[in-house]
Amino acid sequence: MLQQYGIIAIFLIGGALTAIAALLVNWIIRPKLPPVGSKLNTYECGLETQGPTWIQFKVSYFLYALVFLLFDVETVFLYPWAVRFQVLGLFAFIEMIIFISILVIGLWYAWKEGALKWQ
Amino acid sequence: MAMEGIFTGIAASMRELLAGAPPWLENLSMGFLYLVGVLAFIFLNALYLIYLERKISAYMQQRIGPNRLGPHGLLQSVADAVKLLGKEDIIPRGADKWVFLIAPILIFIPATMLYAVIPFGKGMIAADLNIGVFYFLAVASTTTIAILMGGWSSNNKYTLLGSMRSVAQMVSYEIPLTFSVLGVVMLAGSLQTSQIVMAQEKVWYVLLQPVAFIIFFIAATAEVNRAPFDLVEGEQELIAGPYTEYTGMRFALFYSSEYANLVSVSALAVTLFLGGWHGPWLPSWLWFVIKLYIMIFIFMWVRWTFPRIRIDHLLSFNWKVLLPLSLANILVTGVGIKIYQLLTLGRW
């Protein structure tokens, strides 16, 4: 088992090294003069950029993100259950139906309260 | 069936070559061999899927597409890649330099790692993790972080908007994607990709889980940011989304990992729903590749057929249609399995 995670680690490091190698080749081949002037401007369709970009603004999907968190945690419970589903018997199935229906009620409530509406 | 064993034969002869070596060295070099294979697969696919995409879109719009360089324009992508290699490296004046530099490397890592659990053929899997599918879904969602890093650090309003949209899309479509896979996991009783393929020897899961397949397909389209869900880089409104400020090889890394993600998601769809490498007569890896390209073709077909949908429609479609549907699918699958067990085994 540990060997397989070793291979995953090789893929992780290998992916990073490949990307770095590609950038290195780019660095060797490309023109050495550093770009100057308006090449370094922010590209916003040829117009001068207006005001700062890194400001506080409203993220309209904030409530979606909260509901997402709920269901993402639910998947953590659902996956082990799904793997053993055929062995576990009827009781576990009914338990999971109750668990899911509680979450569905939560979803229905969020829906009713307008959390699933883009504002 | 000499064709069958080409790739497994290479791996076996490599192992034989390392017979006397200590086991850590053997595993290290085998991992390296898998990595080289996967990287070659990624880059060849990225090159030729761009060509394929241009050709398919051209024919769908009654154009010819690239046809100048090489026979039928086959060398066009190679020329593009070489051109991108020699491009100037521009970091915009206002950018957050280090985040800007790291993002393209970070996006390539999950793109590579996803291939570790894909069974390309009989016995052709780099790391047969017992949590394979879960690993795939977990690693796939980290791509968004790199997109967000790139979009935020560029200090450009369009890139910022694009990356925020990418987060909104991930936050929504991740849920139906994971839930649609659950039906398959319940049927196979395993998260191991090789086990799931083995379980489909008699019947493909697309026949038992048609709804899950459609949900998976829609959610995957959103996950890899392709039309009709390509709000992240909607060209008409956001230039190129989070990639706007990137040039040269950095842009190429973003672009190729996008295609790599398309291939890996299609490969997962083939593994979970289309029977993986199962098929008569032809070698297993060839079956896998054939199914893979059919899936990719469908993705492209969808891209060039449907118009882009608005973001509020996108999110409400996900939460009000796909999510209840995928939950219902889990329930129906559960009831179906229990009834089947009662009929065949006489117990619940």
Contact flag B116-A86 (C-beta cutoff 8 Å): no
Distances (CA, A) of B276 to B151, B181, B251, B290, B296: 36, 15, 32, 10, 15
Give dist(CA B146, CA B69) in Å, integer.
34
**B226: which 2 tokens?**
């392709």
Q: What is the pLDDT of residue B2?
A: 62
Contact flag A11-B337 (C-beta cutoff 8 Å): no
Q: What number of C-beta contacts closer than 8 Å exist between A and B? A: 209
Residue B310 is given by DSSP the state: P
Of the residues B32, B169, B249, the best mutation for testing chain A's interface (the one with the most A CB atoms within 10 Å of its CB) is B249
Instruction: Quick: pLDDT tens for B164-195.
Output: 888 888 888 888 998 999 889 988 888 888 88
Q: Is pLDDT at B1 greater than 70 in this prediction?
A: no
Contact flag A8-B32 (C-beta cutoff 8 Å): no
Other Cβ atoms less than 10 A from the Cβ of A69: the count is 11
**Which residue segments constitute the domains of chain A, with CATH numbers given?**
2-112 (1.20.58.1610)
Question: Which residue did the predictor score with more confidence, B277 or B109?
Answer: B109
Contact flag A4-B94 (C-beta cutoff 8 Å): no
Nearest chain A Cα distance for residue B270, angstroms: 20
3-state secondary structure of A44: strand
Contact flag B90-A86 (C-beta cutoff 8 Å): no
Contact flag B189-A87 (C-beta cutoff 8 Å): yes
Q: Span B25-44, mean pLDDT? A: 84
Q: Span A96-113, mean pLDDT? A: 86
Q: Which range, A40-54, B8-22, B130-144, is most confident? A: B130-144
Contacts of B85 in chain A (CB under 8 A): 25-26, 29-30
Provide the residue ranges of all domains of chain B, joining segments of one domain with +.
89-344
Q: Span B233-256, mean pLDDT? A: 83
Write out residues 228-257 of B within 8 Å (CB-CB) of A.
239, 244-245, 248-250, 252-253
Contacts of A93 in chain B (CB under 8 A): 334, 338
Contact flag A78-B179 (C-beta cutoff 8 Å): yes
Q: Is pLDDT at B337 greater than 70 in this prediction?
A: yes
Q: Span B246-255, mean pLDDT? A: 86
Q: What is the mean pLDDT of chain B?
A: 85
Give the contacts of B248 (CB within 8 A, at least 6 positions apart).
Answer: A26, A30, B84, B85, B86, B87, B88, B89, B90
Give dist(CA B301, CA B29) in Å, integer.
40
Instruction: Quick: pLDDT tens for B119-128.
Output: 888 878 888 8
Other Cβ atoms less than 10 A from the Cβ of B305: the count is 10
Q: What is the pLDDT of residue B215?
A: 92
Q: Is pLDDT at B67 greater than 70 in this prediction?
A: yes
Q: Span A26-37, mean pLDDT? A: 82
Q: Is pLDDT at B112 greater than 70 in this prediction?
A: yes
Question: Which residue did the predictor score with more confidence, B182 or B276?
Answer: B182
Contacts of A35 in chain B (CB under 8 A): 88-90
Write out residues 56-85 of B within 8 Å (CB-CB) of A.
84-85
Q: What is the pLDDT of residue A119?
A: 67
Closest partner residue to A54 (CB to CB) among B91, B155, B172 is B155
Give dist(CA B276, CA B341) in Å, integer.
25
B195 in contact with A, Cβ within 8 Å: no
Question: Which residue did the predictor score with more confidence, B1 or B182?
Answer: B182
Q: What is the pLDDT of residue B216?
A: 92
Residue B308 is given by DSSP the state: P
Q: What is the pLDDT of residue B129?
A: 84
Contact flag B190-A93 (C-beta cutoff 8 Å): no
Nearest CA in chain B to A49: B156
